[in-house]
Amino acid sequence: MKMYDVIVIGGGGAGLSAAFTTAGFGKKTLLVEKAKTGGECTWSGCIPSKALIHLAEINQAAREAGAEVSIPKPFDQVDQVRQTVYSHESPEVLAKRGVETLIGAAKFTGKNTIEVNGETYSAKRFILAIGSKALVPPVPGLASTPHLTNETLFALKSVPKSVLVMGGGPIGLEMAQALRRLGAEITVVEMLDRVLFREDPDTAAVVERKLVAEGITLLTGTKAVEAAPGASGVTLTVEADGKRRTLEAEALLVAVGRGSAVAGLDVEAAGIVATPKGVKTDAFLRTANSAVYAAGDVAGPYAFSHMAEYQGVLAALNAILPFRKKVNYNHVAWATFTDPEIARAGMTEDEARQSHGSRIRIYTHRYENLDRGMTVPGTEGLVKIILDSKGRVLGAHVAGPRAGEIICEIQVMKTFGIGFHKLKNVIHPYPTYADILRQIAKKAALDRILNHPVVRTVRALSGKKNAS
């Protein structure tokens, strides 16, 4: 039996961050990965999707300029990007940083032991970072109908002529737009009454209008009820308002969410409690087995690579240090890389009203009214900032160019509790999209002055004097 200080199971974002952290503290660390290090983000998530989006943007820009451009072998180019990223997180690279790597499927055989490739390994602490897997809903016929998920999409050799997309969330819409821009006919089927349901309705509407303008058919409030192989590929029977119809396309992409990936790991043998999404953890990311911590998708509640990295480092530190720190989800942000991009941090307007009542202040500014936005005809978007009574950020919602970057500046203000009005004094380069935040800050600063008790008193007295 081989023994280690720490064994990390899963070589994705959470696992790599955890392994580098424990190894950095001089702990003998083993990383077990069933396929390739890098995990979903490198092979079937963030990296290949953004690479495909980039190629699609090039194609779209050429089309809008009146040029006929065909991206040669886009999926081959995507794979080249994956290989480049992998070259920085391969077992050889891990070894140089003190992390031993073992390729194989792990399963627990006890509270402190696992089996991999027929051999037993033991450790004082384990960090479970196996991620999640694409959820395939129990639609009749779907299991026996050829379909794609994010885990198989990037193995394609060419862009299908037509694609049905189940799911109007981030993955579904990112890939729907990218494939559309690369020449596919796209229909998106979403069971809820709008796409991007986790986003603010105003910002989600900006993205929806752009998708429709580019020729994507969005069927909201529509439920998939049956799938089957078709003459040209696949058929999907859908239902809306009590009426059914059958859609047909060359390919079907299922993008309805993520599910648990713990099957085959025998977590019960280690005394770990499984959940529908992964495993149960406490505020320190510790499972029911005090020797095992979890991070990333398997721990939840967010399936984002940046949250996986945050949790991976925290779980590693809690596992090896005598003092522990609780996980903090008060300042979570995310971005969806459609065109335009959409990003969110904190509460929605409805959530803020429920928790803070009428004391909140809401400010918006549109990209169309920003000098930088005017330099690009057709630019549409907005920023919505929700502040508490003291001017601190409760929530922020952005839809427009560079939304994923703009949300980062807001995150700094929100995380450190800085009054948003103070941003008006920060010099922003001109003309930039980020200057939209300074424009909002100027509005917030003016309101702050006008609502100061002394100013209100003077204005009230002035009003009475003028009235007399």
51 part of a folded domain: no
* Pair 7, 118 in one domain: yes
* Pair 222, 275 in one domain: no
Question: Which of 217, 238, 257 lies at the terminal end of a domain, its last residue?
Answer: 257
Residue 354's contacts (CB-CB under 8 Å, 6 or more residues apart) are: none
Mean pLDDT value of segment 168-196: 97
Locate 64 and state its tokens.
């809008």
Q: What is the CATH number of the domain that holds 99?
A: 3.50.50.60
* Pair 283, 348 in one domain: no
Residue 465 clears pLDDT 70, i.e. is over it: no
Residue 466 clears pLDDT 80, i.e. is over it: no
pLDDT digits (tens, 9 = 90+) for 244-257: 999 999 999 999 99
436 part of a folded domain: yes
Residue 359 clears pLDDT 70, i.e. is over it: yes
CB neighbours of residue 462 within 10 Å: 10
Residue 226 clears pLDDT 80, i.e. is over it: yes
**Residues 158-176, buried b or exposed e (16+ Cβ, 10 A)?**
ebbebbbbbbbbbbbbbbb
312 part of a folded domain: yes
pTM over 0.85: yes
3-state secondary structure the chain: CEEEEEEEECCCHHHHHHHHHHHHCCCCEEEEECCCCCHHHHHCCHHHHHHHHHHHHHHHHHHHCCCCCCCCCHHHHHHHHHHHHHCCCCHHHHHHCCEEEEECCEEECCCCEEEECCEEEEEEEEEECCCCEECCCCCCCCCCCCCECHHHHCCCCCCCCEEEEECCCHHHHHHHHHHHHCCCEEEEECCCCCCCCCCCHHHHHHHHHHHHHCCCEEECCCEEEEEEEECCEEEEEEEECCEEEEEEECEEEECCCEECCCCCCCHHHHCCCECCCCECCCCCCECCCCCEEECHHHCCCCCCHHHHHHHHHHHHHHHHCCCCCCCCCCCCEEEECCCCCEEEEECCHHHHHHHHHHHCEEEEEEHHHCHHHHCCCCCCCEEEEEECCCCCEEEEEEECCCHHHHHHHHHHHHHCCCCHHHHHHCCCCCCCCCHHHHHHHHHHHHHHHHCCHHHHHHHHHHHHHHHC
Mean pLDDT of the chain: 95
Locate 198 and state its tokens.
């986790």
Check residue 468 and give its pLDDT: 53
* Pair 12, 123 in one domain: yes
Check residue 458 and give its pLDDT: 65
Check residue 450 and give its pLDDT: 84
265 part of a folded domain: yes
Count of domains for the chain: 3
Check residue 70 and give its pLDDT: 78
Mean pLDDT value of segment 360-389: 96
Residue 396's contacts (CB-CB under 8 Å, 6 or more residues apart) are: 343, 344, 345, 346, 383, 384, 385, 386, 407, 410, 414
Question: Which of 320, 350, 373 lies at the terminal end of a domain, its last residue?
Answer: 320
77 part of a folded domain: no
| Domain limits for position 237 | 150-257
Q: What is the CATH number of the domain that holds 363?
A: 3.30.390.30
Sign of CA dihedral 343, 387, 423, 441: positive
* Pair 275, 175 in one domain: no
* Pair 30, 126 in one domain: yes
180 part of a folded domain: yes
pLDDT digits (tens, 9 = 90+) for 306-357: 999 999 999 999 999 999 999 999 999 999 999 999 999 999 999 999 999 9
Q: Which pLDDT band holds residue 220 (cuts at 50, 70, 90)? A: very high
6 part of a folded domain: yes
Check residue 147 and give its pLDDT: 98
pLDDT digits (tens, 9 = 90+) for 34-87: 999 999 999 999 999 999 999 999 999 998 888 877 788 999 999 999 999 999
* Pair 253, 263 in one domain: no
Residue 454 clears pLDDT 70, i.e. is over it: no
Question: Which of 206, 232, 257 lies at the terminal end of a domain, its last residue?
Answer: 257
* Pair 126, 275 in one domain: yes
pLDDT digits (tens, 9 = 90+) for 97-131: 999 999 999 999 999 999 999 999 999 999 999 99
**82, 90, 75: which is closest to 46 by C-alpha?**
82
Residue 464 clears pLDDT 70, i.e. is over it: no
* Pair 408, 439 in one domain: yes
* Pair 278, 253 in one domain: no
* Pair 252, 263 in one domain: no
357 part of a folded domain: yes
* Pair 250, 263 in one domain: no
